[in-house]
Amino acid sequence: MSPTPPEPEQPEPEQPEQPERQSEHPEQPSGPQQSEQPSGPQQSGRGLPDPRQPAPRLDEPPSRPDPRQPAPRPEPQQPPTEAAPAADARPAPDARPAPGTDARPAPGTDAPAAPAPPAPAGPPRPPRPEPGALQPLLPSDPSALAGYRLLGRLGAGGMGVVYLGRTGNGELAAVKVTHADQADQPDFRARFRREVEAARRVVSPWAVPVTGADPDAPEPWMATAFVPGPSLGEAVVAHGALPERSVRVLGGAVARALAAVHAAGLVHRDVKPGNVLLAVDGPRLIDFGIARATGETALTATDMVVGTPGFLAPEQAEARTDAIGPAADVFALGCLLAYAATGRPPFGTGAVDALMYRTVHDEPDLGGVPDGLLALLRACLAKDPAARPTAEEVAAGLVEDAPSGGADWLPAPVVRTIAERSARMLALPEIDATTAGTAPEGPAKPGRRSFLLLASGVAALAVGGGVAAWAGFGDDGDGKIGTKPVPPRTTWKIGVLADLSGPAKEIGLAQERGARLAVERFNARKDKPFTLELKVADDRGDRATALETARRLTTDPGVLAVLGPTSDGVAQTVLPAFEEAGLPLITVSAGYNLLTVRDKESAPNATVLRAIPHHPFAGMHLAYAVTLLSGIRRPGVLQERTDDQYSWLLVRGVQFAFGQAGLTPHFRVVPASARDYRSILGEMIDAGMDAYVHCGVRQTAVLAARALNELRFTGPRFAGQHTFGQAFLKEAGADAEGWFLGAPVLDAVTRKEAAGFVAAHRKRFGAAPAYYSGESYDVVTMAMAELARRAKSGGPTRKGLWAALRKGKYTGVMGGYTFDENGDLTNGGTFVHAVQNGAYKVIGPAPVAPANKAKQKA
């Protein structure tokens, strides 16, 4: 989600399997894919033009679309292996993304980070949870395992949960337990057993030792000594870069740990700030989950990138498996020490494939590294593995003595953090009378929910207006927790997690109103099987506090489904909490693709339903709309990096679609700080641009609209979801006239099927529904209908609801909804809106394939 210079060839994505009901049509071409992403655009009942009518014309007055009508599929076309941007464009390589990661901006286009938006006004926010705080056990968690009493949760990921455990003699341990469904997957136990064996083979005071393990248990587990200190990444984020002596001590200890790893015949392959814990007596290297014996490749695909982008060696970035050896760990150590010394990764941040490109081709940014460390770090970061020192040589070159028990090797703020966490551990309750290793009274632990491990490690989404299940929380629907009966519920809740007071409040308020109207309509039914309440949480669009806000919903046993959140960033932050709680979600506005797409190493999505196309598909639809215009041969595509992730994903879809249409766009990439759009767009016009596609946010689209009018550009202008909205019309004014915007929503007022909804909205709120309100109403109503149907056989329950909704077909006031195996809306879902006389006029559904190529060649 080819460029100049060329990158390693990316395998072509698979053609998607299509729903049986549409087998009479030939397959549609696959869209731009993430690594291991299984599906391309598919046909569905929402967002499709009537096949009996000609394709919508962007140069004619708009007409009302019928999004429920099916459309014939064109013959499949293979996605291009390369798409060539203009020679003067910044490179945007198709380097192979690591599994489960996203792809964003082009390499070589580093830009200053966009300034953070001002804090929204409102009541004081509740205090943020303390980093590293122990989370309480969930009702589904065991209280004991083998010889360990489990005291709480340290974290959760795609494979399982890490608990804090304590033995009968009071020793603390981190107990990693794998989900049973993961353990049943092919080769999983072999990988887990390999991790245990690798960790046991490493003997070093600077590597965390294994204290117990059982790879053959129904849920395999492994325990390691517990280190109460923060990770290096946490410490640098909280307190800034470390002084030179701290870096030397850190590097010496980690280098000695790696030397022990290499002496055991292993390569760690994931040396990064999150895998180094800081203790008073020195750092500890952890996580041998992807460690591998030197030369061993049996359980790794030859084209799979393994490691963490930004902290992996060039040979790892290029997936040259046979070249990955101890020198790769030394390169990663160099990245880690540069990060510790400067507070930033040496190859920047941002897109996964951009990071890998820079790792392979660019020199590291070592500005700010103390002079005494520069030569050693440059040697560690040599592109040629043979030119790097060994781990033993790195340790010798750092000369500082290893810590001898004192804390003077760390800055005082980091020492205080360690002391505070250690104090919390000392304050843990005493072991009760139940013998460790003996199961406490109560029911057997139910099967665990799957967790998604994203590249960031913290992403999560509360998506879903009602597409989720409504069942008991922490039980299997039998009304019991432990041995105590729970009174039957008569009132259940639909949750809304939305930005109601932050930068996207226009959308969030519309979503909340749509959900509220749906719940009130449900409760007004005389035959309703249960009563619903609406529980609303304002996330303010703030990722820093979003997780805490989301837990108000995920920890409430009465909440059965959640609509939201409004934005991509909040969605990524809160997703683990919703996955952990098993709370089904639907989003009508968050288009980040990895909310639903998983790689083969991660548990599949079983929580999120997305009622809009994800950003790469939306980019394809936007570009296909451009091809409807005759005479377009050289579209200009501008990627601006204010919202780096969104713009990159949109560009990938646009790039793919223009390749299918046989067009060669002129690409430009500009930093978030760029303001001279007249010069930028003037260069694109001089290069022959005859249509403009803006891949960026509203604020820069306004700058582009102004500049294009000043330059007297007469070609069509296009932008996507993050430009669409009333604010663009207001801020751009007359300069917005003639723009076409692709968005995943329709105006309910223009749809005769929505007349009843519009009337109810006017009566309830005194105004016509805004964009996103109708879609929110639909998905909440969709969930309630399924819950009511299932209640006939035993009451509302979450269990199995996501799967039932994913497989179902639903027609609401805004159109039809069907979903693929990932939980994504099938086919289309993008609508083209033209700006006419200061207002949006819907043209129709965007195409899901390019217009006739002959038109382009004429």
Query: Are the C-beta atoms of 740 and 731 separated by less than 8 Å?
Result: no
> Which residue in the list 50, 59, 94, 270 is annotated as catalytic?
270
Cα Rg of the chain (Å, integer): 27
Answer yes or no: are the C-beta atoms of 46 and 825 closer than 8 Å: yes
Helix (H) or strand (E) segment spanning residue 292: strand 292-293
526 belongs to an annotated ligand binding site: no
Specify whether the CB–CB gap between 500 and 534 falls below 8 A. no
Spatial CB neighbours of 209, under 8 Å, sequence gap ≥ 6: 199, 224, 225
Identity at 635, one-letter amino acid code: P
* Joined tokens for residue 412: 């005082």
What is the distance between the alpha carbons of residues 29 and 25, in angstroms, rounded to a whole number? Answer: 12
Q: Residue 532 has which token pair? A: 């619903």
Q: How many CA atoms lie within 13 A of 704 on its CB side?
A: 30
Distance (Å, rounded) from C-alpha 851 to C-alpha 857? 12
Distance of CA 522 to the CA centre of its chain: 33
Residue identified by tokens 């303001």 is: 675
Give the separation between CA 493 and CA 789, rounded to whole angstroms.
Answer: 17
In 30-176, alpha helices (H): none
| Residue 270 a catalytic site member | yes
Phi and psi at 39, nearest 5°, equal -125, 150
CB 269 within 8 A of CB 329: yes
Angle (nearest 5°) at CA 93 between 91 and 96: 165
By DSSP bridging, strand 839-845 and strand 831-836 are antiparallel
586 near 802, Cβ under 8 Å? no
- Cα 110 to Cα 106, 362, 665, 679: the distances in Å are 9, 12, 22, 19
CB atoms within 10 A of CB 309: 27
DSSP string, 629-676: STT---EEEEEE-TTHHHHHHHHHHHHHHHHHTT---EEEEE-TT---
DSSP state string for 297-326: -TTS-TT---S-TTSS-HHHHTT-GGG-SH
Side-chain-side CA neighbours of residue 853 (13 Å): 11
β-bridge pairing 491-498 and 559-563: parallel
**Among candidates 67, 52, 43, which has minimal Cα distance to 842?**
67
CA distance 163 to 156: 9
Burial class (CB in 10 A: 0-12, 13-18, 19+), 816: buried
**For residue 609, what is the enclosing H or E element?**
strand 608-610
Cα–Cα distance measured from residue 39 to residue 598, given in angstroms and rounded to the nearest whole number: 11
Number of H helices, E strands in the chain: 22, 26
- How far apart are the C-alpha atoms of 303 and 391, rounded to whole Å? 27
Write out 443-493 in H/E/C secondary structure. Answer: CCCCCCCCCCCCCCCCCCCCCCCCCCCCCCCCCCCCCEECCEECCCCCEEE
Residue where the block lists tokens 């030179």:
244
Catalytic residues: 270
Sequence ranges of the binding site for ATP? 176
Binding site, by residue number, is 176
